[in-house]
Amino acid sequence: MTSWVEVHPDSDFPIQNLPFGIFTTRATPPRTGVAIGEYVLDIALLHRKKYFSGIDLPPAVFHQPFLNDFLALGRKKITAVRNRISALLQKDNKTLQLKKALRDEALIPQKNTRMLMPVRISNYTDFYSSEEHAINLGSMFRDPWHPLLPNWKHLPVAYHGRASSIVVTGTDIRRPWGQIKLPDKSSPEFSPTAKLDFELELAFITCGESKLGKPISIRRAEDYIGGFVLFNDWSARDIQQWEYAPLGPFLGKNFASTMSPWLVTLDALEPFRVSGPQQVPEVLPYLAFSGKKNFDITLEVTLQATQGEETVLCRTNAKYLYWNACQQLAHHTVNGCNVQVGDVYASGTISGPSPGSFGSMIELSWNGEKSLTLADGSTRTFLEDGDRIRMRGHACVNGVRIGFGECSGKILPAYSGTSG
């Protein structure tokens, strides 16, 4: 399947992808768009011109500043809209292709747009679903012979994060202050973090609501998944290490998280399903599933210093995740917790089996014991002011590449004179 819109072979956004996002230009307010090659297709305009007739969509559903109203229509409507867009963009379809004035108005170069937060987020949960990552951190801070806590292979461990501090790609991140307890000190001190870190994650966003008290079964979990984004759960490791007992992450995590702007649908990821790691011991029945629930998505993190080229820090794959998205959602709601449209559920750091596939600086530097050398010759154990982290991800089969775009952020110095 090819499009009449020119798409470079290395583009993240061929006609087989068609992710949804919210964009704006100098001439237009926020609205829904779909990525195709180097362009954004203005589907709010196409809806106004009756190109989605027969799908039964609210008149202003694509003229909203977030995707929530569209996602709330459910998986079937999302698929129907995506299929209609795919048909309009196919090479042999002349319906839109020959209407030059409308075509030129509807197809906007991405360089002339500004991407916004795709959803209004009510709730955010961060899981801990990579066995390799959990083993690495357990080895560092607990017992290298027994790195996993007893519950880890029985349930998807998670914590509730802060939705208000999730930002879209390109937003600068301010180095946070907090309490830090140094090993040679008897009391903590108040200072900016010295161990600022990234966490390479994949997150799904919900497209349905459930009733309080009614769990979502694992068989129905995908009905509630609108799509996936790249996610960076920035972490201040020294603040986190002092504060996390006994209730878990707080200031070391809630200062910022970054997400990519394009929502890649389950339909687009269908060809990339794979089996995940074998789960031993056998999970409880409410977490048991059939079929392939992991995805073969290559993930990469680069670091660009203030002056210099990008350096690849790690490459890994989402297929390594021990707990899949369906298990995460089923466990999250088994106690009756209700979900809302636009909720974000992040995977937790995704690490692979080799050092080059570790998805965080704390693993790559082994908590500061090893230095990473950048392309300009400088070294890092954790992130410095001026560093820009970029996350990218794509899946590829038979020459078709489905990508997520970019999830990036630059580190700014901590505020001076902070008193808390």
- Annotated active-site positions, please? 133
Tokens (6 digits) for 332: 């999250």
Query: Taking Cα atoms as reference points, which of 343, 261, 325, 254 lies closest to residue 71?
Result: 343
* CA distance linking residue 251 with residue 414, whole number of Å: 14
Sorted by sequence, the CB contacts under 8 Å of residue 111 that are 6+ apart come out as 38
Cβ(376)–Cβ(161) below 8 Å: no
CA distances from 128 to 137, 160, 201 (A): 11, 12, 10
Local structure of 29: helix, strand or coil: coil
How many Cβ atoms are within 10 Å of 168's Cβ, its own excluded? 20
Cβ(401)–Cβ(395) below 8 Å: yes
- Tally the C-alpha atoms within 13 A of residue 90's C-alpha that lie toward its C-beta: 8
Tokens (6 digits) for 163: 């939705």
Q: Which residues pair with 257 in a beta bridge?
A: 166
* CA distance linking residue 113 with residue 23, whole number of Å: 6
